[in-house]
Amino acid sequence: MLVVVGAACALALLARRSDTVLEVLHRTGQRLAGLGELRWEDPGGDWHDIAPSNDARLTWSAETAFLVPAWHPVAAGLDAADLSLARPPHPQTVVLALYRLVPARWNLHVVGYPDWVEHPLPDFTAKWGFSLAVNASFFSSEGPIGLVIQDGVVRHRQASRKAAHFLVDTRAGSVRIENQKMAGIAGVYAGFQGFPAMMTNGRLYSYVASGGRGFDVFTVDRRSAACTDREGRVILMVTDSLTNGLSFAELGVLMGGLGCVDGMAFDGGSSTALDVTIAGHERHVQGLNPVQVVLGLTPRG
């Protein structure tokens, strides 16, 4: 008991004045949870350790991809899978909901309400008739943080310090994740900025794997993210959990393990949400807060 009380007091002394002891303990617990060894479950129900070499790997190729989700089609050009993850001895399994889409078969939209009024994700699904919707941009009370392009119109300016861009080049559906500051947006029909940039051309950024630049990559939280693979498909990734999740370091390994080449994170934490309603298939990850900007899919006619 004395050890626990002493640790709590030490944490409280390290906290900012605006923090409470519970907030500090919560953040510390999240960080410690992310230091555990992540395991994954294959379609046959067997669990596998992620090799330390993969935890340290920066360059990924088709040969180094190791994850084998149980993909199944839910619509033309759209596959779904759940990837179960665990950190023994932590008893809670983290489920990563995966959706892999062929951009040529789907219209991709980035939308927000007038004046950036915040709404729960299902409101966006209903208003725009999306088959699939996921939260997108970071935002504040003053509006989105960074670029938002809706129906070919720049509704919010590009942020020079945000390198991660999700861009739909034309209504034909060519999607690129461009991780550079002030990316080219000529001809972009829909797009937004996120954070952080995770990987480019099969190479994970070193700060994602080991930290740096004042960036904590080991804290566990709810995550929304996307990556593109070598066939030009887009993989959307959303943790389906309330109190657990993934660290950015873990997310980077999973992107490489899935065979991705370019990847970025969306707004996460309490904003993480997913809403899928397709004939014969539904999936709903409830967001803890309403959001301002959403990435949505509608089928091509």
* Tens digits of pLDDT across the chain (301 residues): 434 334 444 444 444 444 555 545 555 555 555 556 899 999 999 999 999 999 999 999 999 999 999 999 999 999 999 999 999 888 889 999 999 999 999 999 999 999 999 999 999 999 999 999 999 999 999 999 999 999 999 999 999 888 999 999 876 668 999 999 999 999 999 999 999 999 999 999 999 998 877 788 999 999 999 999 999 999 999 999 888 899 999 999 999 999 999 999 999 999 999 999 999 999 999 999 999 999 999 998 7
Tokens of 100: 């892999």
Q: Are residues 142 and 99 in the same domain?
A: yes
Task: List Cβ neighbours of 95 (8 Å cut-off, separation of 6 or more).
Answer: 82, 83, 84, 85, 239, 240, 241
Q: How far apart are CA 43 and CA 198, in angstroms?
A: 26
Quick one: pLDDT at residue 13? 43
Q: Are residues 6 and 51 in the same domain?
A: no
Partners of 197 in the β-ladder: 264
**How many beta carbons lie within 10 A of that of residue 156, not counting itself?**
21
38-67 as b/e, with b when 16 or more CB fall inside 10 Å?
bebbeeeeeeeebeeebeebeebeeeebbb
Q: Are residues 210 and 70 in the same domain?
A: yes
Tokens of 176: 């690129």
Q: Are residues 195 and 276 in the same domain?
A: yes
Give pTM, 2 decimals.
0.89
Q: Are residues 131 and 216 in the same domain?
A: yes
Quick one: pLDDT at residue 20? 57
Q: Are residues 72 and 6 in the same domain?
A: no
Q: How many domains does the chain have?
A: 2
Structural domain including 9 reads 2-32
Instruction: Tell me which DSSP letter residue 246 carries.
Output: B
Q: Are residues 13 and 116 in the same domain?
A: no
Q: Is residue 107 classed as helix, strand or coil in its secondary structure? A: strand
- Terminal Cα distance for the chain, rounded: 65
Q: How far apart are CA 88 and CA 39, in angstroms?
A: 8
Tokens of 44: 């046959």
Quick one: pLDDT at residue 242? 83
Q: Are residues 73 and 171 in the same domain?
A: yes
Q: How far apart are CA 64 and CA 258, in angstroms?
A: 9
Q: Are residues 249 and 197 in the same domain?
A: yes
Q: Are residues 159 and 52 in the same domain?
A: yes
Contact between 104 and 172 under an 8 Å Cβ cutoff? The reply is yes
Q: How far apart are CA 118 and CA 126, in angstroms?
A: 15
Tokens 């915040």 -> residue = 118
Q: Are residues 99 and 235 in the same domain?
A: yes
Q: Are residues 147 and 22 in the same domain?
A: no
Radius of gyration, alpha carbons of the chain: 19
Cα pseudo-dihedral 278, 230, 236, 224, rounded to 10: 180
Tokens 């994602």 -> residue = 208
DSSP code string of 38-78: PEEE-TTS-EEEPPHHHHH--B--TTT-------EEEETTE
- Cα distances (angstroms) measured from residue 125 to each of 46, 78, 133: 36, 17, 6
